Amino acid sequence: MVHPPLAATALLLVASPFIGSFLGTLAYRMPRGRSALGGRSACPACGVTLGPADLLPVLGYAWRGGRCGQCGVPISRDYPAIELAALAAAVWAVMVLPGWQGWAVCVLGWFLIALAAIDLRHFLLPDTLTLSLVTLGLALSVLGILAPGLAWPVQPVDAAGGALLGFAVLTVVGMVYRGLRGRSGIGLGDAKLLAAAGAWAGWQGLPGVVLIAALSALAFAGARGAWTRRLPRSGDPVPFGPYLALGTWLVVLYGPMAFGF
Ligand SMILES: [Zn+2]
């Protein structure tokens, strides 16, 4: 097993809020058809270009009191939340998985954060992100063949099977739902995200991912219903991506649930 030096892991943790800042920009720009790479970050209200202090993760937000320094318009809390989430994912990953595998799972976590953030705001899981995750998961599974020190716990055939099965399961569920209810509830984006889960965790991980996603979605809907004292209407759009992301994260970190067999 290849272990990155401690200094490199420290660097990863220091860099992760800045990666989170990039993820926040990505989550804002991608659904609007804009590149996250080109162009300086600017206030969406007055257009003033953000300075170096504003671009400091979390601290920049706190320093300005959560408002644009130029026009005083509140800045979305999504930004510091995503920056903290990116840091939390990095800490969590390197604590649970030693060596380079923790780094790989950290990258998975950053993708999942961007996907969850976009789905929460736009009910959308961009192909660029889901299909990149499928590719990365498959690539990790064959890495051990090329370099034995970089062996990934999921075999290539299990990863490929997981990607196909994950996609097939939610595509079929979506079709059945559409047939019964006359409108779409589960999108192809969800199916591609479950394909990514299968590519990373292997087909053996899929029951755990779906179970965690379904239970956490129900728990959240119940908690929100109790909080707002309103029963959720069946027509309310519910993003399923964040729950699938949570299931994927937990199963890749802690292994598939055995269910006694
Ligand atoms: Zn402004």
Range of the domain at 36: 1-122
For residues 140 and 117, state if they share a domain.
no
For residues 256 and 147, state if they share a domain.
yes
For residues 141 and 110, state if they share a domain.
no
Q: Which residues surround ligand 1, an ion (CB under 5 A)?
A: 43, 45-46, 68, 70-71
Per DSSP, 76 falls in state P
Q: Is pLDDT larger for residue 232 or for residue 68? A: 68
Tell me, in angstroms, the distance from the centre of ligand 1 to residue 47's CA: 6
For the chain, strand residue ranges (E) read: none
For residues 50 and 147, state if they share a domain.
no
Specify the number of domains making up the chain.
Answer: 2
The residue type found at 105 is: V
Looking at residue 261, what is its pLDDT? 41
Give CA separation, 14 vs 10, 87, 95, in Å.
6, 8, 15
Tell me, in angstroms, the distance from the centre of ligand 1 to residue 73's CA: 6
> In the numeric block, which tokens belong to residue 67?
């408002």
Give the separation between CA 59 and CA 66, rounded to whole angstroms.
10
Residue 192 in contact with residue 165, Cβ under 8 Å?
no
Q: Which of 159-163, 231-235, 244-248 has the lowest mean pLDDT?
A: 231-235
Give the separation between CA 208 and CA 210, rounded to whole angstroms.
6
User: Binning pLDDT at 50, 70 and 90, where does residue 260 land?
Assistant: very low
For residues 228 and 180, state if they share a domain.
yes
Looking at residue 163, what is its pLDDT? 98
Looking at residue 21, what is its pLDDT? 92
pLDDT digit string (tens) for 112-169?
999 999 999 999 999 999 999 999 999 999 998 888 888 899 999 999 999 999 999 9
Give the separation between CA 94 and CA 104, rounded to whole angstroms.
9
Q: Which of 122, 151, 182 corresponds to the end of one domain?
A: 122
Tell me, in angstroms, the distance from the centre of ligand 1 to residue 150's CA: 47
Give the separation between CA 169 and CA 119, rounded to whole angstroms.
20
Q: Which of 104, 122, 140 corresponds to the end of one domain?
A: 122
Tell me, in angstroms, the distance from the centre of ligand 1 to residue 49's CA: 9
Tell me, in angstroms, the distance from the centre of ligand 1 to residue 65's CA: 13
Residue 27 in contact with residue 20, Cβ under 8 Å?
no
User: Binning pLDDT at 50, 70 and 90, where does residue 258 land?
Assistant: low
Give the separation between CA 184 and CA 109, rounded to whole angstroms.
28
What share of the chain in percent tops pLDDT 90?
A: 60
For residues 109 and 52, state if they share a domain.
yes
Q: Spell 200-217 as b/e; 16+ CB within 10 A means b.
A: bbbbbbbbbbbebbeebb
For residues 136 and 257, state if they share a domain.
yes
Tell me, in angstroms, the distance from the centre of ligand 1 to residue 42's CA: 8
Strand partners, 67: 74
For residues 34 and 161, state if they share a domain.
no
